[in-house]
Amino acid sequence: MPAQNESPSAAPEPHTGLFATTHWSVVLAAGHGSSSRAAEALERLCSTYWYPLYAHVRRRGCNEHDSRDLTQAFFAHLFQNDALHRVSREKGKFRSFLLASLNYFLADARDRELAQKRGGGREVVSFDEAEAEERYRHEPVDRLSPDRIFERRWALTMLDQVLKRLELEFIAAGKARLFHRLRVFLVEGAATDTYANAAGDLGLSEEAIKKAVQRLRRRYYELFRAEVANTVAAATEVDEELRYLCALMTDG
């Protein structure tokens, strides 16, 4: 039998809250870019979603070292006060703003020496170059446009972030074993495993497993929705962005 603290009936409680002050809305509300809170929110978003940007630069034909320099230079450019001032007048989704800004930056960089675009040689957003290149080399060949591939990577990165948050919640509740056994059932219809097998492994009934999976999926969706809210300008845009990202994941 499982330990008492792994009982599915004691699954982590969902965190509730309003849209209010999410990361991107904080940046948009910064006015003239003088808000340190807005700068911190922008840095947090970029630190989370750096990989789609790096991979986009690689897809545009740059080698791994130039891609790292250009990505860091783009962040340095983005975090300048005048850049934040322009951001404050933007509306819409963070992914759209980032992609448009990066494409403009890359076009401008063609006419300049790369060394002038390195942000003074400092690392603006921390990321592992070796890890980035390893991930990029294992990506499948994709004949979609670079912009469309960027959006697909964006959606996948978001799902990865949500899964990490969900795992941490279960670990904090003393339910790591439950999470790792049931995560294969997160996407309905995708698992090749059965509830009966999971029930046998965890010493629970199939009905208990079914209810635990339902709670797991519900919490996953809640976290996904919260993460999406962090990247749009208003609460009214969340559902539209959710639909768009889900369509990206199923678009062959």
Between the alpha carbon of residue 203 and those of residues 175, 179, 199, the distances in Å are: 14, 14, 6
Contact between 126 and 98 (Cβ < 8 Å): no
The model's pTM: 0.77
Query: Which structure tokens are listed for 201?
Result: 């492994």
Q: Is the pLDDT of residue 185 over 50?
A: yes
The predicted-structure confidence for 111-167, as pLDDT tens digits, reads as follows: 565 545 444 455 656 556 666 666 656 566 566 688 888 998 999 999 999 999 999
The residues, ordered by sequence, that sit 6+ positions from 187 with a Cβ below 8 Å of its Cβ are: none
What residue spans define the domains of the chain?
21-139, 146-252
Between the alpha carbon of residue 91 and those of residues 158, 217, 232, the distances in Å are: 20, 31, 9
The predicted-structure confidence for 63-121, as pLDDT tens digits, reads as follows: 888 888 888 888 888 877 566 666 655 567 889 888 988 998 888 876 565 545 444 45
Q: Is the pLDDT of residue 44 over 50?
A: yes
The predicted-structure confidence for 21-39, as pLDDT tens digits, reads as follows: 578 887 777 655 556 777 7
Burial class (CB in 10 A: 0-12, 13-18, 19+), 79: middle
In the chain, which ranges are E strands? none
Query: Which structure tokens are listed for 233?
Result: 């300008």
- Residue 25 one-letter amino acid: S
CA distance 46 to 53: 9
What pLDDT is attached to residue 24? 85
Reduce the DSSP state of residue 93 to 3 states and report it: strand
